Structure 1
């Protein structure tokens, strides 16, 4: 019963993962970014300097536009310097959108403020996948900072540069801060879609060391964001969440550097949102919450999306100033830079309206109107010829203590206020104790340039603060522009709803609002129980009836423990679109999510009635698991193969076991699932989370799904290799193998395996380890194929003889001829199979397990091969991360081939048991230590080869001395 249950779990896990891959883009909306166009041909002028000889593949360029290129060293630069740093595989030409918008903005400006954009060419290196690039790129960036500043004659202007880094370029920029001699030259770092705090994939130990070095050095001179169990960044007083992030004990240079991190959102499938915030960030924002952007950017569009490019340039122009000689520089005032960053990236939705003198404006050419209705609206389709003042009484509706005012096309001259209405005569009204409330307006994402602003007021708080107030008023300045406002006074107990994350087994939807009333503007939903990054709730808002055309619905999501991760989404077609509720980062350990739930604010169209429902989203959850945990597959696949190898070795002492001739023997198993529970318990004691504030202890569901997928993947892998062996032995390539490989390489490898292993090791040292691994894989496949071909020929021959004997016996029996039974040949195919000894190269399942481990190791080091192909000088003897594991594996394989392993020694039971136990421990280590640090798999696989080789050597010695 248990066996069938585990098999079902494996099947469901693999199916769920494939379902998640199929729906990988389920949350991704269409690309709404506008293209950025140059108004003149772009020019990239190379800047040559002496240090270029040390970095032959790199380059520094100045961006300009026009048909005539400029000579950099003969040009006097007067703008504020900006350096663009491309990321993984990025081009220096990606700067053109940012720089072109800045040039156009400078030409349209009368202030003389302009920016000089410089860009770095890193030869499109894959710095996210090969760690040796990172330190070289950092050193070159330091050199470029010095060279750029030397181009300026103004000492005040030349003091600071702004670095805009995309992807890994921002990580390199942050690495410069490790050196205090260079951090003093940096004004601000703007990070675009960058894994700034931790890497996406750790295929290389140097990537891990690079990030660790950044955290270690910067943490000494700059404090990081600290969260506690009661942190709530959704409260109104937490908008300046990172401005007080610093202490007096910090390094002055590091403290003055403003770090702004920007994430792309759901469209960026390469760098998930949770990776884009640095623990040292001053300001963090997602593109869908940045004012005037309001959309999600994919990884590449972050550098050319016009809406985002304009906001970044506005910020840099805002913090720029010019001296008496008209040299432009970035201000050193940190408070001013922080305020500007908050204005452009976080808080532009706070409207600073002009304060209006109601007493004076209300006397002349003004219309006063007081509505006692709880819900009403007013439209000025052709504008208003006179000033209009709407009064809303505060004390008429005692249970309805929240007031929502929704205004379309709010202008700076429009004014929200509270006051005491004393008297009314001659059609005039007078307000006393007037106080502006316009700061409560927030701008919502707009469609077709219809700006929508909403203010939500707490009437009880207003009454307590201003005891004499009787009304809230809204002043509309006379204008020809069409305008509309809606008022909704409601009971918060009816609009604030709390619900918990449904169970995985719950498939039916739960209705929160069966039918909203006409004129409803606002609902607030509080979601409890979502503490990890993959559980997803599907929220549906379905219109039941509408008066006129249906307008869009806007949803704002705020995660209390994740500053800067606010999410706005425009629901254009509510009947077809779904809002998925999940979190970008797990809640901190010990965080009370029940007391601080996720906040969902829903801004509705008042002309419609809606039904609001939710349910657990299987498709969203599986999609998130596939997105966030796919990189666990190599470690779990390695663990599965190690468990299979352990089971194969543990049966070497069994003399009756002949199943090893089946290549797939042992792969149809479920015992490796038992590793998951044991490893989860052990990881509590054996691992330490460096970032105690962030959650990293995921529930068991992702591990089971990934491990079940790895089991199925191991079966597909072994059958693929088996197919390749059969094709190689009897396919179209047999002729080539016979004349070239089988006649040359195989005899050498079979006769002189140690010599051939030495040749492969020398090749690895001369080129790179991955080159030798690729050749070793090809040779190993040929060796197995050759042995399998001989086995099949022998098996077919014996089967043919057996069939001939059966036919001859039947014929003689029919003709009454007496025969003596043949000896040496069994008439049963099974007995023929048992005559073949299951050791040496005939133990196909054993060698296929080793071959699969070799394939995994080669794949893990494939980026080293790419780097070597691109530039042989990059991967040298001291910088090749694959060299040491490669040498160990090839040396072990050479000995195994020489010993014609495995040699089954049936009396060596204790040795096989010890080896099996150690391999099983290695499988557990794969899951505990290697899920995120994939480079450690190289050493575990190499250690497995050493262990098996040692077991074979000890077995041979044991057999020799026991005789």
Structure 2
């Protein structure tokens, strides 16, 4: 048992250190910000648009964006001819965030010869914290609908039905999606683009209003729109995207599924976005998802705020919008096309990969170009000063049987067609082969991200498949256009058995670096790694690509990571020079679906190597990245685990009351130095399966992650409870008077008045409950809880400050000079513990009865601190309740200036807590009574409820704490009644 206890202590310390290490290394995989700023060519202007029936939303507004026009503009009185776009800001977002999107669109419209332009509108939500408090969302949704109706009225004179595009950032994307639940509005929505939006679940579920908003939206969309769920054989790495719905299927749909005609596109910022992790940005209702790091011509990661001003990304969005827009037949105005199939193809072209059809051409430069033929397996040709004429290279398809794959890379060919297939023939008896007719293979070309060096375009061809498909083909043609810029191409023909490697994800306890390739062959262009066992978002594999024997000091290695069950999460990483750490990271954005066949469809990592070097490649488990991802993915579980620890501590304290029979021998730290709460974590895993199988209880939260995650988070919560307890001790000892003075200043009460109030509350604590509950009902739950916390803190400080100071000084002295022989403490009671002389006599009798045991155990003197640990636990639980209701309190403070009434989802649980706490103080709890064993069992049950139902839905902790306080108050009251009656 002693060894198990030591192992548990080491586990707690190690897990806490891991959590802290991950917290300080959140930037482990974060790349530098490569976004270019978007500059306005004129002064940004915002014209206020009067919203129909919008008078009941005085703090909201609708604006039209324009630039460089000094005269004010009113869209309601002007003739608007552009295609309408509405920008919906998110959590704490400003309506002015539209200026980057709007400015790029204005410039593109001025340079557009076809006369296509866009009208950008933006909504002012008063920078409300909609991600933290869900009570804002219904109001914002209604106002967004009113704005849509207002804008439709501006364009109602058109012959065609008005069609609007919504662009939502952060929570604005969820608001934009939610308006589809209104069929009258949904018929006018063309496309919705969400930017860094948590679509199917919030980042932190802090109140019931937020959960209800998500549930209502997803329920309606589930009935009116087709959802996409990965099957056990889905492999998005084999295709560019999920199969789009056909035009015929959409036309024959029932009315209940007509929302499929709305194009939904979601985008994520990548590893730089530490607020909304990538796995939350996709939705099962989306038609297309893309990460900014994989979008062509963007190829970088955006943090949560830069996603609305990053020039490369803004250009991509507007490029797509302009591709959808067209002039009416009478050329009077611009409208968005309503053909979803065509719009989806435009989206694929913009956000996934430029699509090119196979086209047949005539002879390529037979007269003006120079033809060459190469028979080698590896070719590296560069023209440092460019080419004066077209250069054409013929590469034969007929090779040895084992050479099935051909990797071809072209440098600096921009968007020109450079790869073709053909049947070569000899002309004029010269022995020179030419192609009279060629077919483009550009649909097989992948353009790799490029920042500041040669632009790389790569194609991986299956020569056997080409020969079977095109029986007459004999060669592949590489065409290099003329120019002054450095240009060239690389060829690598290989046996796929030598380049496709299967590796197993190392276990977390594997410390060694595992070799993969000691040295690649010169000219190697492509390698594919198939990674098995990479299933959880917190796992991270580090691949080390060390350059050897480089011809030039600078090189470029690009890696493409593809997760087969997560569409749109392709990730590109680039190594540039020897000064950079030669490491790449592989991880997944979401947990692998149940019953998914990862053996057939593992995670793949394609390495596009620079052939100027040889490379040594190895891999290892990345502890730094894994711990940082663990913190980023699961920090939201910490409140639930912290609450579970406090409930187990409280259970230990009340169980000790029952076992000891007297409070005289209780130390102030009883219950906190525990590890038994770890048993609750393991027990809940088994209990969850039982609940799901039996079906007699509500189904627990579907959190199917490894138990290692729960243990690390829980051990961090144990360490946090110890730190919070020690901080509370120090605050009560050192800062009680400071908090008292601060409370006087905040409440603007005089010293005399405050002394009277404190005296009344101390001697008649029931007034404490009346005052705090009245405050909560008159204002909000957070204000009442804050007042309760301050009173409770000051009462504990007044009652225990001197005793705690003596105890801490004595402990410090024992540590300095060595602990002296302990003696049994002098019998003493706190004044508030003795309700009568008979109770005092009873205590002395209990002390005398246990005197022999006290001398045997030699307890430390803890005079005056017998109930202290119990009250500290309740104080910490009250603090958590206060923090959970903090966002609602901030919302109340902001709304009172506008006379707006917002829901307070934590009001009733808070009233229960404050009433129970005042009753406990009135009864001088905890009393010496029976029944604590039953309470300890109930607290065990509540701790399990927390881990089963409150890890994701954090707001449910309000009800658990309310139940715990109510049980304590009911127990103490019942015992008091029984004693009085007897």
TM superposition score normalised by structure 1: 0.92
Match of 2:263 among 244, 247, 258: 258
1:881 aligned to 2:891? no
Separation in 2 of the partners of 1:391 and 1:153?
A: 59
1:698-709 alignment runs, 5 A limit: 698-709=705-716
Displacement after TM superposition at 1:612 (Å): 1.0
Separation in 2 of the partners of 1:793 and 1:461?
A: 82
Pair 658,546 (structure 1): closer, same or farther in 2 beyond 3 Å: same
1:669-748 alignment runs, 5 A limit: 669-686=674-691, 696-728=703-735, 739=751, 743-748=755-760
Cα offsets for 1:204-223 (capped at 9, x unmatched): 10100100001111111111
1:361-372 alignment runs, 5 A limit: 361-362=365-366, 364-372=367-375
Cα offsets for 1:651-684 (capped at 9, x unmatched): 2234565467643221111111111100111122
> Could you say which residue in structure 2 is the equivalent of 1:193?
196
Q: Is the 8 A contact 1:676 1:704 kept in 2?
A: yes
1:932 aligned to 2:949? no
Match of 1:347 among 344, 353, 376: 353
Q: Which moved more, 1:142-151 or 1:373-382?
A: 373-382
Q: Which runs of 5+ in 2 are unaligned?
A: 745-749, 812-820, 835-864
Pair 568,837 (structure 1): closer, same or farther in 2 beyond 3 Å: same
> Could you say which residue in structure 1 is the equivalent of 2:37?
35
> Could you say which residue in structure 2 is the equivalent of 1:958?
978
Cα offsets for 1:879-937 (capped at 9, x unmatched): 111210111011111211111111112xx2xx211111111100111111000000000
> Could you say which residue in structure 1 is the equivalent of 2:531?
527
Please state whether the residue corresponding to 2:319 is helix, strand or coil.
helix
> Could you say which residue in structure 2 is the equivalent of 1:294?
299
1:513-662 alignment runs, 5 A limit: 513-573=517-577, 575-655=580-660, 657-658=662-663, 662=667
Pair 534,798 (structure 1): closer, same or farther in 2 beyond 3 Å: closer
Displacement after TM superposition at 1:83 (Å): 0.4
Pair 121,51 (structure 1): closer, same or farther in 2 beyond 3 Å: same
Cα offsets for 1:184-219 (capped at 9, x unmatched): 111100000000111011111010010000111111
Q: Is the 8 A contact 1:193 1:299 kept in 2?
A: yes
Cα offsets for 1:543-565 (capped at 9, x unmatched): 01111242211110100000111
Match of 2:430 among 426, 433, 443: 426
Separation in 1 of the partners of 2:808 and 2:107?
A: 79
Cα offsets for 1:763-819 (capped at 9, x unmatched): 1111101001001001001111111146469999999xxxxxxxxxxxxxxxxxxxx
Pair 107,158 (structure 1): closer, same or farther in 2 beyond 3 Å: farther
Pair 434,11 (structure 1): closer, same or farther in 2 beyond 3 Å: same
> Could you say which residue in structure 1 is the equivalent of 2:668?
663
Separation in 2 of the partners of 1:139 and 1:629?
A: 33
Separation in 1 of the partners of 2:632 and 2:480?
A: 49
Separation in 2 of the partners of 1:736 and 1:428?
A: 94
Please state whether the residue corresponding to 2:477 is helix, strand or coil.
strand
Please state whether the residue corresponding to 1:55 is helix, strand or coil.
coil
Q: How many residues align?
A: 926
Displacement after TM superposition at 1:387 (Å): 2.9
Pair 877,164 (structure 1): closer, same or farther in 2 beyond 3 Å: closer
Separation in 2 of the partners of 1:152 and 1:914?
A: 69
Displacement after TM superposition at 1:947 (Å): 0.2
Cα offsets for 1:811-833 (capped at 9, x unmatched): xxxxxxxxxxxxxxxx9864226
Taking only aligned residues, the RMSD between alpha carbons, in angstroms, comes to 2.8
Displacement after TM superposition at 1:50 (Å): 4.6
TM superposition score normalised by structure 2: 0.90
Pair 330,417 (structure 1): closer, same or farther in 2 beyond 3 Å: same
Pair 412,62 (structure 1): closer, same or farther in 2 beyond 3 Å: closer
Displacement after TM superposition at 1:468 (Å): 4.0
Cα offsets for 1:677-724 (capped at 9, x unmatched): 00111122436999x9x9840011111011001111101111111111
Please state whether the residue corresponding to 2:733 is helix, strand or coil.
helix
Q: Is the 8 A contact 1:586 1:695 kept in 2?
A: no
> Could you say which residue in structure 2 is the equivalent of 1:856?
880
1:25 aligned to 2:19? no
Separation in 2 of the partners of 1:776 and 1:111?
A: 67
1:354-503 alignment runs, 5 A limit: 355-358=360-363, 361-362=365-366, 364-411=367-414, 413-423=416-426, 425-426=429-430, 428-431=432-435, 434-448=438-452, 450-503=454-507
Pair 828,379 (structure 1): closer, same or farther in 2 beyond 3 Å: closer
Separation in 2 of the partners of 1:660 and 1:94?
A: 62
Pair 798,37 (structure 1): closer, same or farther in 2 beyond 3 Å: closer
Q: Which runs of 5+ in 1 are unaligned?
A: 800-826
Displacement after TM superposition at 1:421 (Å): 3.0
1:196-345 alignment runs, 5 A limit: 196-236=199-239, 238-243=240-245, 248-249=253-254, 251=256, 253-323=258-328, 324-345=330-351
Separation in 1 of the partners of 2:90 and 2:743?
A: 43
Pair 507,752 (structure 1): closer, same or farther in 2 beyond 3 Å: same
Cα offsets for 1:74-109 (capped at 9, x unmatched): 211010000000000000000000000000000111
